[in-house]
Structure 1
Amino acid sequence: MPRKPEFIMPTDEEDALINRGISLDADSPELTAEDFFNAKPASVAVPELAAQRRVRGPQKAPTKRLVSIRLDPDLIDRLKQDGPGWQRRVNDMLRQAVGMTS
């Protein structure tokens, strides 16, 4: 299962419409090479915003504990074949194996 859905490229007509919309938007002009050359880091341009640090709030669900376990490489490869979420699935398999099905 792919991690990201397939990207659909716009047709030439759709691309032209998109670019026309960009060129007409005075509030959000397309940046030029000169704009990028003259750009300043956020810490210089808006230091009061750049200095703010975002803090993650408390978790809403009970936290899990980090453990270290050594597994055979072929087992890990097989578990990862089913895609993202493999660690959650291992957790579910272990619960079932020890009779703690939820």
Structure 2
Amino acid sequence: MIRPTPEEDAEITAAALSDPDNPPLTDEDWARMRPAREVMPPSFFEPVTAPPRRFFMAEIELDVAEHFKKEAGDDWQARINDVLREAIARKEAAE
């Protein structure tokens, strides 16, 4: 880690103090601080169990997309994922 020089630190501090959108915390602000576990719902601290989603582009014929939009409405992309997973499971079961 490269630490700023005292001059750079002073310049950074002056810029931060002059930012009207981010005023420094007062002693009263610090006195009102509470641990996150006291103010956030317990679900906030539960581990994320779903795998992270990764996106990519795929060409889907218009008639196929329209079918899923008509069938599933706003969840049409999730429905396509479900159908593809079902096809994968059937293929793996047949092997």
Q: Shorter-chain TM-score: which interval?
A: 0.3 to 0.5
Q: Which has the larger radius of gyration?
A: 2
TM-score with structure 1 length normalisation? 0.38
TM-score with structure 2 length normalisation? 0.40
